[in-house]
Structure 1
């Protein structure tokens, strides 16, 4: 199938498909006139790439999944070649969550402190 057909079947743009190809995620063959040609496995591969991008993996991180991109469905079963990449991503996400939690707690304390002082000052002036 040609790039337009693959785009229509997967919901990806042609530009995204070329991006996947440039990053080594989506192999293609070229016809004699230079058109990209994809096989049926490309549909599943593109859907898996898009799914992985949607959960925060980068194109570079998805390279660890290349051996399994054609066979995976909903990122399951987990490909042994990708377990380390998943573990690294989980660690990164957890670190981000920890930092965001600290930031939220700090901001909440600042807001509570400001409102507490403003309320106390207003009450003193009114009394």
Structure 2
């Protein structure tokens, strides 16, 4: 089954076959991880930073609303792009409820944070490129006689 296929409401089709009446169709951490291509550890990290929220079942398991699949997917895309989780948390808090997050949904402050991070990445790329080129020059030197 395609774990990423969604219904007309944006909820994963994979939830239909695993819906549990006792949880109102919510998903546990392992299921959410599988549906979003992340890990339970990463989801706990997201929860610690306020990206997602869970409730607890009677036996203490984390229980996530199925609608958080879109939130996790958007967060993962932003984090994979190099945006720190603290910035992602604020971006998702102010962004439209639609996913994925679009720059046009952000206010000026949030967009400035993203641009600042982009500029920092550009500086890192420039520095790494200079180091790579220096290393290439070193490796391309003809061997010296011993």
TM range (shorter): 0.7 to 0.9
Q: CA deviation at 1:46?
A: 0.6
Does residue 42 (structure 1) correspond to residue 55 (structure 2)? The answer is: no
TM-score (norm 2): 0.66
Q: Structure 2: how far apart are the matches of 1:28 and 1:89?
A: 29
Q: 2:55 aligns with which of 24, 29, 32?
A: 29
TM-score (norm 1): 0.74
Higher relative contact order (CA closer than 8 Å, sequence separation 6+): 1
Structure with larger Rg:
1
5+ residue gaps, structure 1, are: 123-127
Q: Please tell me the root mean square deviation across aligned C-alpha atoms, in Å.
A: 2.5
Q: 2:111 aligns with which of 72, 79, 83?
A: 83
Q: Structure 1: how far apart are the matches of 2:117 and 2:56?
A: 34
Deviation string, structure 1 residues 48-106 (Cα, Å, up to 9, x no partner): 11111211122222122122274232x42542253122101111111011111211222
